[in-house]
Amino acid sequence: MKTAILGGGLAGVTLARLLSKQGEDVLVLEQDSRIGGLCKSITTDGFTFDIGGSHIIFSRDQEVLSFMHQVLEENRGERKRDTKVFFKNRYIKYPFENGLYELPKEDCFVCLNEFIKTRIALEKGELKDPKNFKEWIYHTFGKGIAEAYLVPYNEKIWNYPLDQISAHWVEGRVPRPPVEDIIKAAVGIETEGYAHQSVFSYPVEGGIEALIEAIARPVSNQIRTGYKVSTIHKNGDQWEISNGTETIRADRLISTLPLQSLQLCLTDLPEEVRTAISDLKYNSIVCVGIGLNGQTLPFSWMYLPEKEGTAANRISFPSNFSTEVAPNGCSSILAEITYNAGDKTDQMSNAEVVRDTISALGDAGILDPEKVRTALAVRHQFAYVVYDLAWQQNMKIIRDYFSSAEISLVGRFSQFEYLNMDGVIRSVLDFVGRS
Ligand SMILES: Cc1cc2nc3c(=O)[nH]c(=O)nc-3n(C[C@H](O)[C@H](O)[C@H](O)COP(=O)(O)OP(=O)(O)OC[C@H]3O[C@@H](n4cnc5c(N)ncnc54)[C@H](O)[C@@H]3O)c2cc1C
């Protein structure tokens, strides 16, 4: 039996490796000239940047974490997280609620007081279940932390009204702190939130793409790059997959493509399914890599919730993940800006985005524009799934259809879920286990 795997990102290459290990004849079809999808890295002027956004390796799932560690072998470094939130020109320890002692005293008081008032209201049953993500933030953290950090930051990253985002996906992703941690943080006792991520791994060489290459190595001759799938038909028991000039036949079809890309390949989709896919919300990203002469801040990454200044919601410091990703005596920053079709960032050229980012980070005192040695910007259409209020209803229609059509959906934009690399590998392991 021959299995076609559409898409050569993390999901596609991991599926190929594990199915092939089970003796299956697989072929990965990837549109780009290189595998990796969101996990691609570029090296320019001696700087390596992860162009789908800053990626670190971490997981609560020990089986998945061991898999990632094992494939990287010696090419794995470990770092302790030192992450900040940039607030009123201060570097506040992340998660924000664990860094309250670093806030101006008045802000610290407001955050603690509002948190306690919210807890009391919850205990008394005065708060109804949150109807959306915005309410969830206020009910979990109180008005102080919500309005100083979580609301503006989330508005920036999602680029979508928070009261139109569902709350069902949040648990386990937005850290929910123990009460005593917040009180300790406010009085200045050190605590560590989101502990499973406090130590992370990163490839020593090659950026995050090295992980993809390591996974793909045993199946490299079963991966076809430069093959953009444009049509998919079922002919009897066989799938016919074409890029417009060549047709490939397979007995089984697994798609890791974004649903929006898959639907373009299927001419006979029922209208209800087409409408459900068109109604799904996502955002895009432009990543700005900046190579600097000299050293940068000593942090892992930093969240930028404030609307004034840079449009970036986060910057990371890749040269603090591995010294091999910048030339000697140099350092690097990677800024992430999310956007949607038609908005200001969408209408800017990459050169304008680079110029604005450097200038805003310069004004904030985060970098010295005189020290910029190289800079680039790369866009990805599909960055984050946005769980709008219609997501569950739309996904039921979509899943039911693809299950009956015998097209398996695996991967971040194929399952249309907020899956990090560990979530993607977990989905692949579960899928292969059922195969
Ligand atoms: C800003 C950002 C930061 C992140 N940071 C982390 C992190 O720190 N840690 C972590 O664990 N995860 C992180 N992630 C998540 C991680 O990037 C994803 O979980 C993972 O890359 C998804 O892999 P995938 O294969 O499902 O999707 P993709 O990487 O999107 O792969 C899909 C593939 O399909 C191909 N394709 C599309 N259309 C066609 C077509 N018509 N024909 C053929 N091929 C096609 C694409 O070119 C692509 O290669 C981050 C994501 C983002 C956006």
Q: Is 177 in the pocket of ligand 1 (CB under 6 A)?
A: no
Q: Is 376 in the pocket of ligand 1 (CB under 6 A)?
A: no
Closest C-alpha residue for ligand 1 atom 2: 53
Give the separation between CA 260 and CA 341, rounded to whole angstroms.
14
**pLDDT per residue as tens digits for the range 317-351:** 999 999 999 999 999 999 999 999 999 999 999 99
Question: Vertex 343, ends 338 and 347: CA angle to 5°?
Answer: 95
C-alpha 256 to ligand 1 mean position (Å): 9
**pLDDT per residue as tens digits for the range 235-245:** 999 999 999 99
Interior/surface letters 379-402, b for 16+ CB within 10 angstroms, e for the rest: bbebbbbbbbbebeebbebbeebb
Beta bridge partners of 27: 4
Q: Is 343 in the pocket of ligand 1 (CB under 6 A)?
A: no
For the CA of 56, the nearest atom of ligand 1: 8
Closest C-alpha residue for ligand 1 atom 49: 37
Percent of the chain with pLDDT over 90: 93
Q: Which of 6, 49, 55 has the most ligand 1 atoms within 8 A of CB, as the residue to mutate?
A: 55
- Residue 328 confidence (pLDDT): 97
For the CA of 230, the nearest atom of ligand 1: 41
- Residue 266 CB neighbour total at 10 angstroms: 19
For the CA of 39, the nearest atom of ligand 1: 21
Among the listed residues 332, 261, 264, 324, the one whose alpha carbon sits nearest the alpha carbon of residue 294: 332
C-alpha 369 to ligand 1 mean position (Å): 31
Please state the rounded mean pLDDT for residues 124-134: 93
Q: Is 318 in the pocket of ligand 1 (CB under 6 A)?
A: no
Q: Is 52 in the pocket of ligand 1 (CB under 6 A)?
A: yes
Q: Cis link prior to 95 (omega < 30° from 0)? A: yes
- Residue 192 confidence (pLDDT): 81
- Residue 131 confidence (pLDDT): 93
- Residue 380 confidence (pLDDT): 98
For the CA of 380, the nearest atom of ligand 1: 53
Closest C-alpha residue for ligand 1 atom 3: 53
For the CA of 384, the nearest atom of ligand 1: 53
Q: Is 111 in the pocket of ligand 1 (CB under 6 A)?
A: no
- Residue 398 confidence (pLDDT): 98
- Domains of the chain, by residue range, sit at 2-37+209-280+387-434, 88-193
- Residue 190 confidence (pLDDT): 86
Q: Is the pLDDT of residue 368 over 80?
A: yes
For the CA of 35, the nearest atom of ligand 1: 49
For the structural domain made of 2-37+209-280+387-434, what CATH number should be given?
3.50.50.60
Q: Is 8 in the pocket of ligand 1 (CB under 6 A)?
A: yes
Q: Is 55 in the pocket of ligand 1 (CB under 6 A)?
A: yes
Closest C-alpha residue for ligand 1 atom 48: 37
User: CB of 148 within 8 A of CB of 107?
Assistant: yes
**pLDDT per residue as tens digits for the range 279-304:** 999 999 999 999 999 999 999 999 99
Please state the rounded mean pLDDT for residues 400-422: 97
Q: Is 385 in the pocket of ligand 1 (CB under 6 A)?
A: no
Q: Is 254 in the pocket of ligand 1 (CB under 6 A)?
A: no
- Residue 191 confidence (pLDDT): 85
Quote the mean pLDDT of the chain: 96
Token pair, residue 58, equals 């971490």
Please state the rounded mean pLDDT for residues 24-47: 98
Token pair, residue 93, equals 């320890």
Q: Is the pLDDT of residue 144 over 80?
A: yes
For the CA of 382, the nearest atom of ligand 1: 30
Q: Is 215 in the pocket of ligand 1 (CB under 6 A)?
A: no
Q: Which of 408, 421, 422, 431 has the most ligand 1 atoms within 8 A of CB, as the residue to mutate?
A: 421
Interior/surface letters 89-104, b for 16+ CB within 10 angstroms, e for the rest: eebbbbbbbbbbbbbe
- Residue 175 confidence (pLDDT): 67
- Residue 226 CB neighbour total at 10 angstroms: 11
Confidence band of 177 (pLDDT split at 50, 70, 90): confident
Give the separation between CA 111 and CA 101, rounded to whole angstroms.
10
**Rg value, the chain, Cα:** 22
Q: Is 383 in the pocket of ligand 1 (CB under 6 A)?
A: yes
Q: Is the pLDDT of residue 172 over 80?
A: no
User: CB of 166 within 8 A of CB of 388?
Assistant: yes
Q: Is the pLDDT of residue 229 over 80?
A: yes
C-alpha 383 to ligand 1 mean position (Å): 8
Looking up tokens 């899943």 gives 399
- Residue 297 confidence (pLDDT): 97
C-alpha 7 to ligand 1 mean position (Å): 9
Contacts of 216 (CB under 8 A, 6+ apart): 8, 13, 16, 17, 35, 223
Closest C-alpha residue for ligand 1 atom 8: 55
User: CB of 240 within 8 A of CB of 253?
Assistant: no
